[in-house]
Structure 1
Amino acid sequence: MRVLVIGRTGQIATELLPRLAAAGHAAEALEPPGFDMTDAAQVADAFARTRPEAVVNCAAYTAVDRAEDERALAFAVNATGPRLLGEAAARAGVPVLHYSTDYVFDGTKDAPYSEADAPDPVGAYGASKLAGELLLHLAQPRSVTLRTAWVCSPFGNNFVKTMLRLGQDRPELRVVADQQGAPTFAADLAEAAVTLLPRLAAAPAGDPVFGVAHLTGAPYTTWHGFAEAIFAGAARRGQPAPKVTAITTADYPTKARRPANSRLDCTRAATVLGIPPKDWRAGLDACLDALMTKDQAA
């Protein structure tokens, strides 16, 4: 299958591209500066040149705090871009797989969010991602949006790498303990894409596979609990393990409000898409092994 991947160097795309190749798919990945997904002409040209049978959008504006000041840019990448991809995909008759976020919710619910819960983003980042979901599915109903949260990998910038970097120099780290969610490893999201794409390409409009689904790791934890697991794993590998002190969100103010509840109910992904949540603790072990191997080779 010919797959057009938007994004090349982000966490999910980096994990996805070798997996597509291993599965026998021919993938072409496009990203700035050579490609601008907010430019309709460039999107049309990419479709004409690559003639994809499926599209995976791994690209996003993810600077949550900066989005409050760069709202127009966030909406261009996170909303206009998916709309243009959806329109081009509809003309070409091919499906789109897109990734979104728990930030489409306000985080005040006292239980995991399901796809039936009404979105209510409280910041520019979440609002732009919600707009992208809506515009994509309006343009191309043969699309799947996977909402996820707390994405980590051995690549790019993420919580695991930040904790390990800070832990090299500090005997104690203060980590928020009143925000709940589930770490999700990019490798698992990439594997989900490889599993889904053949089904999406074969499914007609109206197939229940299309629509929005939640997919994170399991089980639920807090940022503090995640940090403790990171350093327990680091210690087993001979790395520093600072004390991790629990603090509240109020102790760590940020420009954009973070959801207190980022827990997503992944039942639909398991039952309809056939993709159950993966245990993030296994993903963390694989991530730490990859990072430690990289450090030793450096």
Structure 2
Amino acid sequence: MGQSAEFGKFLKAMRSRLSPEDAGAEATSGVRRVPGLRREEVARLADVSTDYYIRLEQGRNIHPSRSVLDSVARALRLDAGQHAHMLDLLENCAASPRSPGPEQSVRPALRQLLEAVGDIPALVLGRRTDVLVGNRMAYLLFTDFRDLPAHERNLTRWLVLDPGARELFRDWKAVAADEAGALRVDVGRHPNDPEANQLVGELAVHSEQFRQWWAGHRVATRSAGSIRLHHPAVGDLELNFENLVLPDDPDQTLRVYSAKPGSPSSDALALLSLGLNAGTGSAVAHPGTTLDLEALPPATAES
């Protein structure tokens, strides 16, 4: 019943963000007391009865066909990620409660791959956006998640609650909101995960912005993107990232960051790597510290 209610809440949140003009609907008469489309307007756009759509939004025990759900998704202007999340919610509300599954683990060969890529920052993210493992460059770039207590090794938690993350990301609000949206997707797939529910509760208690994102049912499923950083050791960087879902475990994602070759950001990553190779350790990833350039090995002249 709880997840059935979540399905209805998601539909309502998606409806509230659209005006009749946005959705291409003919507005019904009368004063609008709340923003967004009315239920009868969504029903008309989806070619279903108003009563049927109301029952959908109330989370009643009904079984809509895929064609009806696709029509509702089109009426609500859902993107591919939002559409998939809607289907996850409906599927999981109808299913029997499932255990969270076995403890997350990373294959040794994947750990070796992260170290083998060397100067390219890379992380493996698991359920709940947990940081399962990263290479040394990723820890230097962001923070050394190994130093955190086990329950705090989570990307969304770090982004939302750690002041250092706010200083590091030049577009912090957008980045943190996206990770909150990724957490929302995971909760839709695994509604009975007590650790996820505990994490959401903690973030909601300590962050007003997270409460707003969560109440708005924000969903984020980007396979690629870019970030802008102001790193305390090497200055400004603009990096691209790719999210690669592992075929043998769809709950694990390999995220790899890279800079455009020959760019200032590429030079900054190289400088960060020099600090690592000189043995400066992960301290350079924390605000308020700088690389000791005199401690770096001398540059080798090119032939």
TM-score after normalising by structure 1: 0.25
Larger helix fraction of residues: 2
TM-score after normalising by structure 2: 0.25
Which structure would you say has the larger Rg? 2
